[in-house]
């Protein structure tokens, strides 16, 4: 009897599948998405909140909102949350990739996760058009929503520099996602292994072991510090004869490194890098990346500094020079106001602001779209695209939703007035915190200038640097982990890399 029940159970479930389940299983279906007009919405259900993006804003909002009150669904081409401050460490083997990510499906109470790209939004019908990321199944499908939280983040901006986007993943590597870090680590090891082959020419060894990093922000500075430690501590042990061929260059188009930090810290980091033999080139622009198809070994970047053109042969080029909006924000929000860098303009309550000539003819629908994180900006109080900004914005919106009394939650399906009143009573206010950065050799810096009055922001007493700042950086980011497993794994990998060295396997 038990066996027959088990055999019958799958057939029973199959007959009662929802349209979204069929789509997720790859079955072809012409079932239309649930109508999202107020007159056709089923009564007595939880309001559906659809989150676009699994980055800092989207993940932390989903983590913080009360899933007992709301039906929360997420759409993202990435099925994990990436702890980006530790990404440079994973690119050189100080940490392993699995220790700095959290699978989205582990979020307790998450109703649905769609491993897909959001393509467009029908703001009148409140439907998000999506497409699977998998090559074998490109059929689009719809996800209806009552409230939409857009936290799609940004992508790397190449500024249309010739040869950068064309050679991405082959000669040029970005440092934005987890797979980028894996590619960079493999490329570093590949360069050393190719240079170690006995018949490799000296000139080719110099090129292979020339590492260039473009961009002077915290990510670039931290990666350069990690890379230098890898070369000095680990690669020196395994490739002692190749050390004379290794060179590391940090290239910044602006006048100084770390432009968002205290002015003196950029100069401090530059001096420390130059003391270690790292070439720091400020006021230097990358004009192009040249790859000679006839001569596979002729690969170099063209730099321009003080009106002079410089050719720098490279084995690895890491581009971390700027951000631009993803295609979803560029195309789906044409009827919304855009700020600097194409970011969606939001109100003090983080509601996306539509143009007066926008296509949405349903005013209440305009009160159901939020934008947070790197893709959003308030023109009155613009904030930098930082993780801490997205985190505070996510907490603000989730707390507003959670504060709605349980007996009034179902009313949000048809009427958003109560939520709007809650938000307007306490608009979003960013609480500035200190900034941190590491630059290798167990050295770090903490910048308190964001907390100081504008009259004393340039004071030399507003920053710290040294090993204690480095330990503070590690402690702070360890404490921000959202799972017990990563809080255990990260110190273990730090200990392993310190005592036994970094992993230099290529796989």
Instruction: Summarize pLDDT for 369-420 with one digit per residue, the tens.
Output: 999 999 999 999 999 999 999 999 999 999 999 999 999 999 999 999 999 9
The C-alpha atoms of residue 364 and residue 484 are separated, in whole angstroms, by: 41
**pLDDT averaged over the chain?**
90
Q: Over range 61-83, report the average pLDDT.
A: 98
pLDDT of residue 417: 93
Q: What is the pLDDT of residue 202?
A: 96
What distance in Å separates the CA atoms of residue 143 and residue 157, rounded to the nearest whole number? 29
Is residue 166 a contact partner of residue 88, using CB atoms and an 8 Å limit?
A: no
Please check the confidence at residue 258 and state whether its pLDDT lies above 70: yes
Q: How confident is the model at residue 360 (pLDDT cuts 50, 70, 90)?
A: low
Q: Confirm if 393 and 350 have CB atoms less than 8 A apart.
A: yes
- Report the alpha-carbon distance of residue 327 to residue 386 in Å, rounded: 20
The pLDDT of residue 363: 60
- Has residue 194 got a pLDDT over 50? yes
What are the two backbone dihedrals, phi and then psi, of residue 147, each rounded to the nearest 5 degrees? -135, 140
Question: What are the DSSP E strand ranges found in 53-197?
Answer: 71-76, 80-82, 101-103, 112-122, 127-132, 140-144, 147-150, 154-156, 172-174
In this prediction, residue 25 carries a pLDDT of 39
Is the pTM for the entire model greater than 0.85? yes
The pLDDT of 150-164, averaged and rounded, is 96
Mind listing the pLDDT tens digit for each residue in 84-128? 999 999 999 999 999 999 999 999 999 999 999 999 999 999 999
Among positive and negative, which fits the CA dihedral 192, 196, 202, 203?
Answer: negative
Q: How confident is the model at residue 334 (pLDDT cuts 50, 70, 90)?
A: very high
pLDDT at 294: 72
Residue whose tokens read 């999506």: 130
The whole-angstrom separation of Cα 507 and Cα 505 is 6
Q: Is residue 3 over pLDDT 60?
A: no
- pLDDT, tens only, 202-230: 999 999 999 999 999 999 999 999 999 99
* CA–CA separation, 460 and 458 (whole Å): 6
Cα–Cα distance between 466 and 203 in angstroms, integer?
37
Two structure tokens written together for 331: 């195309």
Q: What is the 3-state secondary structure (H, E, C) of 269-288?
A: HHHHHHHCCCEEECCEEEEE
* pLDDT interval class at 457 (50, 70, 90): low
3-class SS of residue 214: strand
Cα separation, 394 vs 407, whole angstroms: 24
Q: For tokens 């700042």, what's the residue?
A: 469
Regarding beta strands 316-319 and 323-325, do their DSSP bridges make them parallel or antiparallel, or are they unpaired?
unpaired
Q: What is the dihedral of CA 3, 9, 14, 17, to 10 degrees?
A: -160
pLDDT per position as a tens digit, 462-491: 899 999 999 999 999 999 999 999 999 999
Kindly report, residue by residue over 130-143, the tens digit of the pLDDT.
999 998 778 899 99
Whole-Å CA distances, 128 to 42, 141, 295, 398: 19, 8, 48, 21
- On the question of pLDDT at 33 being above 60, the answer is no
362: Cβ contacts below 8 Å, ≥ 6 apart: 123, 124
The DSSP code for 169 is T
Q: What's the whole-number mean pLDDT along residues 14-40? A: 39
User: Going by C-beta distance under 8 Å and a sequence separation of 6 or more, which residues neighbour residue 142?
Assistant: 32, 33, 127, 128, 129, 130
CA pair distance 68, 428, nearest whole angstrom: 24
* Of 6, 29, 39, residue with least CA distance to 413: 39
Exposed, middle or buried: residue 319 (CB in 10 Å: 0-12, 13-18, 19+)?
Answer: buried
Counting every residue written for the chain, the total comes to 507
Instruction: Report CA 245 to chain centroid distance, whole Å.
Output: 33
Q: Indicate whether 11 pLDDT > 80.
A: no
What is the rounded distance in angstroms from the CA atom of residue 166 to the CA atom of residue 485? 39
With H, G, I as helix, E, B as strand and everything else as coil, classify residue 251.
Answer: strand
What is the rounded CA–CA span in Å between residue 227 and residue 239? 15
The answer to whether 463 and 448 are in contact (CB under 8 A) is yes
Q: What pLDDT does residue 23 have?
A: 34
**Residue 355 pLDDT > 80, yes or no?**
yes
Alpha carbon distance 450, 383 (integer Å): 12
- The arithmetic mean of pLDDT across residues 289-302, rounded, is 85
Identify the band that residue 366 occupies on the pLDDT scale cut at 50, 70 and 90.
Answer: confident
Asked whether the beta carbons of 200 and 105 are under 8 A apart, the reply is no
pLDDT score for 43: 54
Tokens 């009148």 -> residue = 124
């Amino acid at each position: 009897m038990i066996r027959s029940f088990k055999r019958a159970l799958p057939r029973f479930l199959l007959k009662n599948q929802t349209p979204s389940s069929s789509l997720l299983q790859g079955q072809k279906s012409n079932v239309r998405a649930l109508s999202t007009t107020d007159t056709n919405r089923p009564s007595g259900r939880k309001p559906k909140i659809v989150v676009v993006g699994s980055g800092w804003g989207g993940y932390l909002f989903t983590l913080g909102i009360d899933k007992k009150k709301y039906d929360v669904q997420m759409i993202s081409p990435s099925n994990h949350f990436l702890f980006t401050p530790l990404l440079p460490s994973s690119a050189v083997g100080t940490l392993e990739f699995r220790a700095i990510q959290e699978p989205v499906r582990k979020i307790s109470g998450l109703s649905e996760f769609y491993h897909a790209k959001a393509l467009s939004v029908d703001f009148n019908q409140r439907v998000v058009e999506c497409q699977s990321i998998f090559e074998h199944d490109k059929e689009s499908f719809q996800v209806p929503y009552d409230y939409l939280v857009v936290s799609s983040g940004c992508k790397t901006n190449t500024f249309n520099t010739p040869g950068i986007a064309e050679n991405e993943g082959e000669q040029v590597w970005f440092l934005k996602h987890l797979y980028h870090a894996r590619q960079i680590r493999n490329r570093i090891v590949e360069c050393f292994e190719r240079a170690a082959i006995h018949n490799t020419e000296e000139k080719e060894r110099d090129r292979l072991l020339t590492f260039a990093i473009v961009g002077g922000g915290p990510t670039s500075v931290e990666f350069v510090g990690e890379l230098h430690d890898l070369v000095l501590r680990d690669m020196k042990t395994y490739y002692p004869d190749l050390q004379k061929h290794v060179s590391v260059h940090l290239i910044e188009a602006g006048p100084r490194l770390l432009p968002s930090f205290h002015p003196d810290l950029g100069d401090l980091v530059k001096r420390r890098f130059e003391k270690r033999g790292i070439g720091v080139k400020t006021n230097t622009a990358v004009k192009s990346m040249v790859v000679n198809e006839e001569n596979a070994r002729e690969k170099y970047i063209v730099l321009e500094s003080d009106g002079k053109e410089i050719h720098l042969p490279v084995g690895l080029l890491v581009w971390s020079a700027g951000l631009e909006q993803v295609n979803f924000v560029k195309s789906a929000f044409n009827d919304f106001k855009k700020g600097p860098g194409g970011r969606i303009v939001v109100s003090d309550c983080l509601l996306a602001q539509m143009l007066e000539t926008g296509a949405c003819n349903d005013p209440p629908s305009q009160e159901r779209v939020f934008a947070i994180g790197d893709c959003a900006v308030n023109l009155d109080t613009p904030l930098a695209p930082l993780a801490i900004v997205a985190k505070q914005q996510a907490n603000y919106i989730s707390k507003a939703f959670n504060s709605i009394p349980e007996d009034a939650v179902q009313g949000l399906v048809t009427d958003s007035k109560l939520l709007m009143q809650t938000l307007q009573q306490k608009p979003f206010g960013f609480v500035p915190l200190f900034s941190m950065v590491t630059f290798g050799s167990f050295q770090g810096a903490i910048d308190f200038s964001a907390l100081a009055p504008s009259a004393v922001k340039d004071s030399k007493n507003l920053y710290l640097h040294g090993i204690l700042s480095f330990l503070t950086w590690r402690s702070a980011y360890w404490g921000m982990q959202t799972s017990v497993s990563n809080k255990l794994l990260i110190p273990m990998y730090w200990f392993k890399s310190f005592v036994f060295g970094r992993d230099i396997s290529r796989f």
